Amino acid sequence: MTAMCVDDEGLILARTVSLVKKTELFDTVEAFMDAGEALAFAKRTSVDLALLDIDMPETGGLELAAELKKKQPDIRIIFLTGYSEYAVDAYALHATGYLLKPIGYERLFSEIEYALGDKKTAGKEKSAAATGHQVKVETFGYFNILVDGKPVSFRRTKAKELLACLVDRQGKYVSRKDLFYILWEDDDYDRARQKYFDTIIRSLKDTLEEYDIADIFEADKGQMRIVPEKIDCDLYRYLQKDRTAIESFRGEYMSSYAWGRITEGYLTDCKK
């Protein structure tokens, strides 16, 4: 789902966006300080929820809401304001929520859940039907993989690193030998090491099967890859120019693995 936050005060806007992201209900959270830019975005993108400041210069939140409703009748709107006298006008525009600033997380979360109603339920059912589990992969900072919000525990650290390496390769098939030299650098790819690598691969497969996400990994004729479309990965969203992912990158990528520095440098250059 997609949410948009509109406020002409930068600090308040940043806090609102942060609180909305904290709910983990949305794939995308867009921020706008200008009502015109927000409306232009809504003309080309389906928006599930809009959180609007009422008192803004030129085009106010009430006017913006009316225009948004014309473009997307099913959009849900929550007004954020410091003035209680706007409540009657807000609900006349079929607002589903009205919060007085400063807003707190618990109150905001409650209003968002109420506003989304059947949209939230339908979204969850659709996701479950399509993937079975929500698989989230974090590469900014340290590498982690979460299934339905819970971190995956690996029996072998090299099995986790192998998965991280495949994520870094973004769905491309990589040969066993190339993967070995990435993970062990200058070590000899002799028979003993090949057998040990077999153990690592088996351990990775066992872990993925244990968490019922074996379908995110594919192996064929000595080559392996991750299946990008079956995971939600901050790296992939960054490369697709997702604003939330770009903002979440703080210059650190796969911090535990020396081989990640090349991608880290590329991401850093892209953000300049």
Write out the chain in H/E/C secondary structure.
Answer: CEEEEECCCHHHHHHHHHHHHHCCCCCEEEEECCHHHHHHHHHHCCCCEEEEECCCCCCCHHHHHHHHHHHCCCCEEEEEECCHHHHHHHHHCCCCEEEECCCCHHHHHHHHHHHHCHHHHHHHHHHHHHHCCCEEEECECCCEEEECCEECCCCCHHHHHHHHHHHHCCCCCEEHHHHHHHHHCCCCCCHHHHHHHHHHHHHHHHHHHHCCCHHHEEEECCEEEECHHHCEEHHHHHHCCCHHHHHHCCCCECCCCHHHHHHHHHHHHHHC
Both 24 and 55 in a single domain?
A: yes
Q: Rounded to 5 degrees, what are φ and ψ at 120?
A: -65, -45
**146 and 71, same structural domain?**
no
Q: Check residue 118 and give its pLDDT.
A: 54
Contact between 98 and 90 (Cβ < 8 Å)? yes
Residue ending a domain, among 106, 127, 148, is 127
* Count of structural domains, the chain: 2
Query: Quick one: 95 and 172 in the same domain?
Result: no
Domain ends where: 62, 92, 127? 127
**Residue 34 pLDDT:** 92
Same domain, 234 and 169: yes
Integer angstrom CA distances of residue 34 from 37, 81, 89, 137, 169: 5, 16, 21, 33, 38
* Residue-range definition of the domain harbouring residue 10: 2-127
- Same domain for 45 and 108? yes
pLDDT tens digits, residue range 203-228? 999 999 999 999 999 988 889 999 99
Q: Which of these, 26, 22, 23, 89, lies nearest to 52 by C-alpha position?
A: 89
Q: What's the rounded Cα separation, in Å, for the pair 25 and 20?
A: 8
Statement to judge: residues 175 and 59 lie in one domain: no
Same domain assignment for residues 20 and 112: yes
Mark which of 102, 127, 152 sits at the end of a domain. 127
What is the number of alpha carbons within 13 Å of residue 40 lying toward its C-beta?
7
Do 12 and 85 have their domain in common? yes
CATH of the domain at 45: 3.40.50.2300
**220 vs 31, 217, 225, 230, CA distance in Å?**
43, 10, 9, 18
- Clarify whether residues 156 and 110 are in a common domain: no
Judgement on whether residues 80 and 179 belong to the same structural domain of the protein: no
The residue ranges of the chain whose pLDDT is under 70 are 83-97, 118-132, 272
Query: Do 94 and 161 fall within a single domain?
Result: no
CB neighbour class for 37 (10 Å; exposed up to 12, middle 13-18, buried from 19): middle
CB contact set of 91 (below 8 Å; sequence gap of 6+): 98
Contact 78/105 with Cβ under 8 angstroms? Answer: no
- Do residues 247 and 232 both lie within one domain? yes
Any idea what the CATH number is for the domain that residue 260 is in?
Answer: 1.10.10.10
Which tokens in the block code for residue 205? 């497969």
